[in-house]
Amino acid sequence: MAQKDFDPALLEELTAIAQGEECELVHAEFQGGTLRLILDRPDGVTLSHCERVSRQASAMLDVLDFGPRKYVLEVGSPGLDRPLYRPEDYGRFEGHLARLTVRHPEDGARSTLVGRLQGFDGEIVTLQEERTTKRGDIAGDTFSVRLVDIEKARLEIEL
């Protein structure tokens, strides 16, 4: 069960718990007996944030008798190589290096693009590919990809 499959009332409660700890719930999924909550904050998520959200969410889920059997609750942050879960993430991380896995609708083939996020208009993600030339310059093509064709996207760790 991904976030889009969650009961809206449950998702609203989990979102409120995260907001109460000055965090944003950016993703929630229930898969393989694990309920995973991903939190974010502009200045970073600490272990303390995760612990407090976990404690409150666990208590709320116990009252609601969540899940047909035992489950594991995981609360964490997206990390440095964070997945881009929501459409607004593409605009939020404009200028960052990202890796996109794209499925081409005409033949179903997949490709991977790595480059800087250049823009997002609500439907199209623009990516400036980066590769180093023999002279050490950074060059690359610009790609426009429909959001619906992106299977997976995440930021790349930059050193």
User: For residue 9, what are the contacts with CB-CB under 8 A and spacing of at least 6?
Assistant: none
| pLDDT on residue 1 | 40
| pLDDT on residue 5 | 65
Q: Could you tell me if 69 and 97 lie in one domain?
A: no
Q: Output the tens digit of pLDDT for each of the chain's 159 residues.
A: 455 567 888 999 999 999 999 999 999 998 888 999 999 998 999 999 999 999 999 999 988 877 667 889 999 999 989 999 999 999 999 999 999 999 998 998 999 999 999 999 999 999 998 766 666 666 678 999 999 999 999 999 987
Q: What is the CATH number of the domain that holds 126?
A: 2.30.30.100
Q: Is residue 82 part of a domain?
A: no
Number of Cβ within 10 Å of residue 29's Cβ equals 18
Q: Could you tell me if 129 and 101 lie in one domain?
A: yes
Q: Could you tell me if 43 and 91 lie in one domain?
A: no
Which runs of consecutive H residues, i.e. helices, occur in the chain?
Answer: 8-20, 47-64, 87-92
Contact 35, 73 (CB under 8 A): yes
Which residues partner with 99 through β-bridges? 114, 154
Tell me how many domains the chain contains. Answer: 2
pTM of the predicted structure, to 2 decimals? 0.79
Residue 107 lies in domain: 87-155
Q: What is the CATH number of the domain that holds 69?
A: 3.30.300
